[in-house]
Every structure is written in structure tokens, then in C-alpha cells.
Structure 1
């Protein structure tokens, strides 16, 4: 199971400008926080049935999002789309998480593993803001299931995720260096239009 690597486009601190979006403390959500505010998180924060947003980028559904970002950002519509094309790219279209079991669906085929909490890592990005990756290590399961999965949902303490960016592979340290490819998942119950509305609220 592989995720296509990034192109060297540095995503701005995994930060996606979320100003005005309701996610608790807005400073934390944009990556401004103290180490003392960080707390371990359980896998249950990410429990549920999740869909990749990459197909919505590919079919043009997310085009209004790039227009919105370009209208208030420093890049063109094409530049934002290219950045997120690299960021969202994945061949894992769906993920389910129940208890300690994570199932990755690749071309409709399930790949399963059981995972235990393996701590967190704090990353400092080029823009100066920070992020926390919550890491889980495989205890058993299919050989094809990755040894490590790392969640980033802009939260730094226990709370139910409403979407997340996921990094996975067999090298814990190398995954922490990946900042250009961040497959992103929203609840499978959301329709495409709902996801666009959610993104436009950021």
C-alpha cells in the first residue's frame, strides 16, 4: 500500500487558513499553542467511516474552494489546485476505524491492522506555526497494512475529529518529514456539496 509522494510544494504548515471556522481555540487551530496544552489522544477521536476528498478534487467538485482561496490568498487558482492535488493525492479512497482496528480501502479492497497509541510529535513549519501528529503503531494485521499511522487534524488534545490528514508508512521518523502529501478524510456520510461548504467556511 503506497501513497504517491509529494512534488516538493511545501504546504503552509498543514495550516490551511482556517480563520473564522469554529474549531475551539482559533489560535490552536492555526498552529499557535504552548507545549503544556498538548495531551495524548485516543484512536477513538478518529473513529468512524471516512472518505478521501481526492476524488472530489479530480472531478472538479472542489473548484470553488480554489477560487475562494485565490480571492483572499497569495496564489493563483491554478497554484492552489496544484498544491492540493499533491496534498490530497492517495489511492486509499476510504478508511474505517472501530476500536483499535483500522481498515484501509484501496481500489475497494480492505487492508486491516490493529493499532496502539505510540505518542505524539510536535512539528514546526516553515511559516513558524506548529502542528501535532498523533501516532499509532501496528500491533497485528495484514502485512500490507502500514506499521505507523499519524493523524493531524489541527487539534492538540482529546476531541472528536471532524476531518483529518493522515500519513502512513513503515518508517516513523521519515513520515514526520512528509509535509507535501497529506491525504485528507471527511466523514463518509457527507455529500460532496457538504464538504465544499465545510471547506469554504475555513
Structure 2
């Protein structure tokens, strides 16, 4: 018992000595609290850069030049670009030969061709990638010899068929403002290089043809709205047959005619409208020449003044591209 008491005394003494030593040590500095700004788990990762492809046209014609530019949403030092393409539902993307810059340049040959741009970092890892864009080729009047002949005005009478007003349904804009502001000068210069008049003479010719104060026309389910200086005049029109015209050069054209359903509906509306778009049977129109007035026969004699309309969503570049193709 005495031995056990002695051991207990020694243990108690050691504990007391340790406690005394601890009281004389300096107090340790507490660890600083980590703020939200320095907590890596809570810090928002920087947004991934985005690539937007610019320059895509609403549509192309076979052989048109496709010019695209990849625009990056933030400034970086990387300049290692690749463009990739695939056709339709093809699974694998293929590197476009020679397309290793920020711009893509090629010829429109495949309808539905998908194109995307990819930017790589210095380790050849993908830094950013664009959403794909698609090339739409629409030759409007066809690309075969027969379609070309019809467009030029050479066809047989029995090829002509009646057409519904729905062939011209949509929201349309006059091309005349684009002639006035100089956008179409490129077209006239092109015609001068391949035709028998100067660019100025072509511009004068088309000025007479395009001139109009009806800047917009909307056609919807037989209802036609004319906009002049922002003012609207609307009425319903019904089919009144077609007329085949023969021109001085020997080629021909077809006027598809519609008359105002209610002749007394409005003094602001023409009694007749006549469409000419180089198409001679039912088909969706992509641009047209329009003649309007109150005398059906007299309108058929008008061959120098043909206000021309394109879809309102087209910009100047789209219209120039279309005119150059024809």
C-alpha cells in the first residue's frame, strides 16, 4: 500500500510540473479565418469564352463564295484556329483543309453543310468552340438547263399553270431604297463587265424599273397590305388568271393576275395586281416584280416600270448576292 501511494505521488507531481510550464509559454496566434474570396471551392470559375460565327448569309446559290469570321467574346493570346465541317447527319467532324485562321472562305456547293470554328490553347487543348452554322443553298429557279431556260423566258404554253396567291405569301420590301443609297452599285458594275451598257446606264435603267413609293407589301391568306410612307392600305384579292407576254427580244414572261375582291373596298387600293417572278407554275416565290393599277389590259402593256420586292428579312448583302446570281 505504501508503494502504491508513492507512485501516485510521483505521477501527480509530474502533472503539476507540466501545467506550470504551459502557463509560462506564449499564447499561439490563431489561424486567420478564410474569407469567401479566398476559398477556392466557393470562388466562381471564370466564364468560358464563346465563339460566334459572323457573316452567314440567309441562303446561298450554288457557286457563291462563303465568307465567315469567328468572333471571340474575350481577348486572349491564342491564335490556333481550326474549322470543321460535316454533311447532314454525318457523325464525325472533319477538319476543313486550309482553314486554319480566324476566317473561313469557301464555295457553296453542298446544301446543309455544317461548319464550326474551334480555338486551341498553347497546349493544343480546346479553349473554345462555336455552335455549328449551316449553309443553305437555294437556287430558286433550279440549276438544270430547263429551269434556266424558263427563267430566261423560253418555255412552251402548256408548261404554264395557275398559281395561288400563297406563292407570294410573306413580308416583302422594295429594293428601290438599296438602289438609292448605292448598295446596288456593285450589281450594276458587274452587269457592265458582262453586258452592253455602262454601270451608270444600267443604274438609270433599273432606277426606272425599281422606282416606287410602296416600300413594303405583306401578303397573308389572300389579304394584301401595301405600305406607303408607313401608311397601310389593305384588301382581299382573288385569282383572275394569267397572261403570257412576248417581249421585243423574243423571250416571254407570264403575269399572274389577282383582282380586288370588293371593288368598292377602298379608293387607296389598286383593282388589279400582277406578279412576274420568272416562274411559270406553282412554286414559292423568292422575289418578284409587281404591277398594279385599275386597268387590267393597260397593266399588261407596262414593261419598263417593275417595282421589285425581296423578303423583308434580307439585308443589302443578301439582295446583292441574289441579284449577282441572276
Q: Does 1:127 align with 2:127?
A: no
Runs of 4+ with deviation above 4 angstroms: none
Q: Does 1:36 align with 2:158?
A: yes
Following TM superposition, by how much is the alpha carbon of 1:49 offset from its aligned partner in structure 2, in angstroms? 0.1
Following TM superposition, by how much is the alpha carbon of 1:126 offset from its aligned partner in structure 2, in angstroms? 0.4
Match of 1:10 in 2: none
Match of 1:5 in 2: none
Following TM superposition, by how much is the alpha carbon of 1:104 offset from its aligned partner in structure 2, in angstroms? 0.3
1:1-202, aligned counterparts within 5 Å? 23-24=141-142, 25-140=147-262, 141-202=265-326
Q: In terms of mean alpha carbon deviation, does 30-39 or 136-145 score higher?
A: 136-145
List per-residue Cα deviations over 1:2-59 (Å, max 9, x = no partner): xxxxxxxxxxxxxxxxxx9651211000000000000000000000000000000000
User: How many pairs does the alignment contain?
Assistant: 183
Task: Name which structure has the greater RCO, CA cutoff 8 Å, separation 6+.
Answer: 1
| TM, length-normalised to structure 1 | 0.89
Q: Distance in 1 between matches of 2:266 and 2:310?
A: 24
Q: Distance in 1 between matches of 2:193 and 2:141?
A: 23
Larger Rg computed on CA atoms: 2
List per-residue Cα deviations over 1:48-99 (Å, max 9, x = no partner): 0000000000000000000000000001111100000000000000000001
SS in 2 for 1:179: coil
Q: Distance in 2 between matches of 1:191 and 1:143?
A: 33
Unmatched segments (≥5 aa) in structure 2:
1-62, 64-138
Q: Distance in 1 between matches of 2:324 and 2:279?
A: 19
Unmatched segments (≥5 aa) in structure 1:
1-19
Following TM superposition, by how much is the alpha carbon of 1:200 offset from its aligned partner in structure 2, in angstroms? 1.0
